[in-house]
Amino acid sequence: MKNTKLLAAIAASAAVALGGLAVWQTSYAGNPPPVKLNHQSLPLFNNPPAASPQAAPVGGPNFSSIVKRFGPTVVHINVRGETTTTGGADMSQVPPQLRNSPFFQFFQQFQNQSPHEVPTEGLGSGFIISSDGLVLTNAHVVKGAKSVTVTLTDQRSYKAKVLGTDAKTDIAVLKIAATGLPTVRIGDPSKLEPGDWVLAIGSPYGFYNTVTAGIVSAKSRALPDDSMVPFIQTDVAVNPGNSGGPLFNTQGDVVGINSQIFTQTGAFEGLSFAIPINVAEAVARQIIEHGQVQHGKLGIAVQTVTQQLANSFGLQNPRGALVAQVTDGSPAAKAGLKAGDIILSVDGQPVNDSTDLPMMIGMMQPGQKVKLGVWSNHRQSTLEATLGSFSDGTLVADAGSTASGHGLGLQVRPLNTAEQAQAQVHNGLLVQGVSGPAEQAGVQPGDILLAIDGKPVSDVAQVRSILKGAGNTVALLIQRGHARIFVPVDLG
């Protein structure tokens, strides 16, 4: 009877497991009915019913053909380098009661060594772009490398030469002494749309040729790392070691290079970022042909145009890049750009957000002429600039007359000569006190008020005059340290 109960339990659990959403319970009065030992009575061994002819296949695309064809183009990269270190324990981490211990002092004498080099090792991925051994990867993968080894899927290994790197776009080109190699096929990332399936192949944590897939989450992402890359955001599982590997579309074309992840743990959390392949291709071409990369430069600092700022400058919709600062003698200054201008387009291409502009200008060449569509003084105009080259930057208030900015909540006074020299400005008012709308907007004592709604101010009378004709929102150009930013203030 015990065996009978056991078989009944197995049958019930199997039925529940196979039933999916269906869960049920059976109660027996007394002993359960006998169970036949015919395997046909056990749901676990039942053959599933044939699929209906009308049933459609379920699931995502099958990437196996892409992996078979282009998997051999993906390589594993091993990097060896050195870092300087010193012996000895970190005293800040040693409890005070142990620092005078004779045992601690005894061991310290062996640890207190002069600075010396310690070997380091790193892993990454890459992919072959030419049959004669050119490999594309991330610049951060080979940064500081003393030696780089590239391993193919057939286990052949080669010492690689780093032809060049570009930190601004995180691109590097390697060369190995091999011929007749399989190569990737380059695609068009502009045709990608959020929701499209994509595939990554790489070596996460050293696991060669690992395949992961997901979808495009967003395009043209700007990251807070001084990069000029319009990243492709995906939810493809990418982990340390995947860096430099290719991102494929469903046609098997490479559309990006997996470069970064957003993580609080060091591992994948659903946010991966890839460099569009057209950006990488343009950079790689410069490295191969010239051994270095040049980027265009305007010489300005920009910020996002919010609805409040758009209202202040008479722009119907928040768009473009608001010029917060223009470097003296820069291409922007020579073209006539000034703080308070809003750049709406570059060579006819719209600038939808301030993050677009560094990407557009940075991928152009020094010496190139560009036409800038600019919103200035409540009207649109066109300026022409010749790009430069991108190369790798507290006031103390003294006694004086002060006055209040009417309705702003500011206590301001003119700058003296020493303060103007220190701040490198020719006009402006020192903010000595803040309250009301200005305080809520984030203005701080010690800031320098340079302009209101694009109009420079150098005395309190100008402030009052401008505010008389202002609307419900004004844009203050503030300098804090050597950085400038427009601050929208709601006057109610």
Q: Which of 273, 155, 252 is nearest to 209 (CA)?
A: 155
C-beta separation of 142 from 174 below 8 A: yes
Structure tokens given for 150: 């590239």
Coil vs helix vs strand at 377: coil
The catalytic site residues sit at 140, 170, 243
Q: Which of 194, 147, 154 is nearest to 174 (CA)?
A: 147
C-beta separation of 272 from 221 below 8 A: no
C-beta separation of 172 from 142 below 8 A: yes
Number of other CB atoms surrounding residue 463 within 10 Å: 24
Q: Label residue 438 exposed, middle or buried (CB < 10 Å: 0-12, 13-18, 19+).
A: buried
Coil vs helix vs strand at 175: strand
* Helix ranges (DSSP H) in 157-314: 277-290, 307-312
Q: Which of 201, 169, 168, 253 is nearest to 74 (CA)?
A: 201
C-beta separation of 380 from 341 below 8 A: no
Q: Which of 265, 217, 210 is nearest to 243 (CA)?
A: 210
